[in-house]
Structure 1
Amino acid sequence: MARTAKVQRLTALAVKRYADDRSVSAPLHDGGGLYLRKRDASALWYLRLTEPATGAQQWHRMFPDDPLGGYPHRSLLDARAEAKRLWDLRSEGTDPRALRLKTIATRRQADLDEAAAEKRKVTVRVLFERWCAVDLQPRVGTDGKRIGRKDAGAYTRAQFERRVFPKIGHSAADEIKRGDLLELLDAVKSEGKLRTANILLTDLKQMFRFALARDLVLRNPLDTVAKRDVGGPSVQRDRVLTVEEIRQLPGSIEASGLHARFAAAIWVILATGVRVGELLGAVWLDEERDPAELKTIADASGVKLGFVNLKRRTWHLPETKNQRDHTIHLSAFAIEQFEKLAELTVASNDDPDRSVPWVFPNMANDGPVGVKSFGKQLSDRQKTPERRLPHRSKATTSLLLSRGRWTAHDLRRTAATRMAEIGISGDVIDECLNHMIESRVRRTYIRDRRITEQRKAFDALGARIHALLAAPASGKPESQRRVGRRHGLSEARLATATSSPKHLPQRSRQVRTEGTALTAHSGVDFDKWPQ
Structure 2
Amino acid sequence: MSVPVFRYLENLLGTLLGTFCGGRKQGEIMPVLTVKGLQALKAENAGDRLPDGEGLYGLVRIRAEDRVSVLFRWRFRHGGKLHDFNAGTWPGVALTQIRKNRDEAEQILSTGVNPNDHVKKRRLAAHAEVIRQAEEAKAKLAQAAAEADALRTVQDAFDTWKTSELSSRKDSGAELERAWKKDVLPSIGVKPLRDVTAGDVLAITDAIKLRGAARLARRTFGEVRQFIAWAARRDLIAIDCTAKVKKSKEFQKDTERSRVLSEAEIKALAAALPAANLQDATRRAIMLMLSTLCRVGELSRAEWTNVDLEARRWRIPADHSKNSKEHIVLLSDFAVQQFEALKTISGARRWCYPSPNEEQHIDTKSIGKQIKDRQRATPLKNRSSAVNSLRMAGGLWTPHDLRRSGATLMGELGIAGDVIEKCLNHTEENGLKKIYQRQKLEPEQAAAWQVLGQRLALLVSPDTNVIVAKFGKSA
| Alpha carbons 2:262, 2:469 under 8 Å: kept | no
> How far off is 1:365 after superposition?
4.7
RMSD across aligned C-alpha pairs, in angstroms?
Answer: 3.2
Measured against aligned partners, the alpha-carbon deviations of 1:245-266 in whole angstroms (never above 9, x if no partner) come to 0111221112213222221221
CA distance in structure 1 between the partners assigned to 2:213 and 2:468 by the alignment? 46
Matched, 1:168 2:161: no
Residue in structure 1 matched with residue 316 of structure 2 by the alignment = 317
- CA change 1:128–1:284 in 2 (3 A) is closer
Larger Rg: 2
User: Which AA in structure 2 matches 1:433?
Assistant: L
Matched, 1:251 2:271: yes
- CA change 1:183–1:416 in 2 (3 A) is same
| Alpha carbons 1:276, 1:371 under 8 Å: kept | yes
Aligned residue for 1:237, secondary structure, equals coil
> How far off is 1:468 after superposition?
3.3
> How far off is 1:458 after superposition?
0.7
Q: How does 1:243-322 map to 2 (within 5 A)?
A: 243-285=263-305, 307-319=306-318, 320-322=321-323
> How far off is 1:459 after superposition?
1.2
User: Which AA in structure 2 matches 1:465?
Assistant: L
- CA change 1:463–1:208 in 2 (3 A) is same
| Structure that is richer in helix per residue | 2
CA distance in structure 2 between the partners assigned to 1:367 and 1:426 by the alignment? 36
Matched, 1:356 2:355: no
Q: How does 1:6-25 map to 2 (within 5 A)?
A: none
Aligned residue for 1:282, secondary structure, equals coil
CA distance in structure 1 between the partners assigned to 2:407 and 2:367 by the alignment? 21
User: Which AA in structure 1 matches 2:153?
Assistant: T
Q: How does 1:123-162 map to 2 (within 5 A)?
A: 123-137=153-167, 148-162=168-182
CA distance in structure 2 between the partners assigned to 1:254 and 1:238 by the alignment? 27
> How far off is 1:395 after superposition?
1.9
Task: Find the partner of 2:419 among 415, 428, 435.
Answer: 428
Structure 2: tracts of 5 or more residues without a match:
1-135
Task: Find the partner of 1:418 among 396, 409, 418.
Answer: 409
Aligned residue for 2:303, secondary structure, equals strand
- CA change 1:115–1:370 in 2 (3 A) is closer
- CA change 1:226–1:412 in 2 (3 A) is farther
CA distance in structure 2 between the partners assigned to 1:214 and 1:184 by the alignment? 24
- CA change 1:356–1:119 in 2 (3 A) is closer
| Alpha carbons 1:356, 1:366 under 8 Å: kept | no
Matched, 1:220 2:249: no
CA distance in structure 2 between the partners assigned to 1:119 and 1:468 by the alignment? 65
Matched, 1:388 2:386: no
Matched, 1:397 2:388: yes
Residue in structure 2 matched with residue 458 of structure 1 by the alignment = 449
> How far off is 1:333 after superposition?
1.6
CA distance in structure 2 between the partners assigned to 1:150 and 1:110 by the alignment? 42
User: Which AA in structure 2 matches 1:315?
Assistant: W
Instruction: Report which stretch shifted further, 397-406 or 227-236.
Output: 227-236
Structure 1: tracts of 5 or more residues without a match:
1-107, 138-147, 286-306, 347-354, 471-480, 489-525
Q: How does 1:41-56 map to 2 (within 5 A)?
A: none
Measured against aligned partners, the alpha-carbon deviations of 1:136-191 in whole angstroms (never above 9, x if no partner) come to 11xxxxxxxxxx32332333334444443444334433333322322332232233
- CA change 1:184–1:365 in 2 (3 A) is closer
CA distance in structure 2 between the partners assigned to 1:162 and 1:201 by the alignment? 14
Measured against aligned partners, the alpha-carbon deviations of 1:337-359 in whole angstroms (never above 9, x if no partner) come to 2232234456xxxxxxxx33433
> How far off is 1:392 after superposition?
3.2
CA distance in structure 2 between the partners assigned to 1:366 and 1:131 by the alignment? 28
| Alpha carbons 2:263, 2:468 under 8 Å: kept | no
Residue in structure 2 matched with residue 301 of structure 1 by the alignment = none
> How far off is 1:432 after superposition?
0.4
User: Which AA in structure 2 matches 1:339?
Assistant: E
User: Which AA in structure 1 matches 2:241?
Assistant: P
Aligned residue for 2:165, secondary structure, equals helix
- CA change 1:162–1:334 in 2 (3 A) is closer
> How far off is 1:380 after superposition?
2.0
- CA change 1:372–1:116 in 2 (3 A) is closer
Aligned residues: 335
> How far off is 1:425 after superposition?
2.6
CA distance in structure 1 between the partners assigned to 2:205 and 2:390 by the alignment? 34
Residue in structure 2 matched with residue 40 of structure 1 by the alignment = none
Query: Given the two structures, how large is their TM-score scaled by the length of structure 1?
Result: 0.57
- CA change 1:358–1:225 in 2 (3 A) is same
> How far off is 1:219 after superposition?
2.0
| Alpha carbons 1:317, 1:325 under 8 Å: kept | yes
| Alpha carbons 1:315, 1:329 under 8 Å: kept | yes
Residue in structure 2 matched with residue 442 of structure 1 by the alignment = 433
| Alpha carbons 1:189, 1:231 under 8 Å: kept | no
| Alpha carbons 1:273, 1:412 under 8 Å: kept | yes
> How far off is 1:454 after superposition?
0.9
| Alpha carbons 1:313, 1:331 under 8 Å: kept | yes
Matched, 1:377 2:370: yes
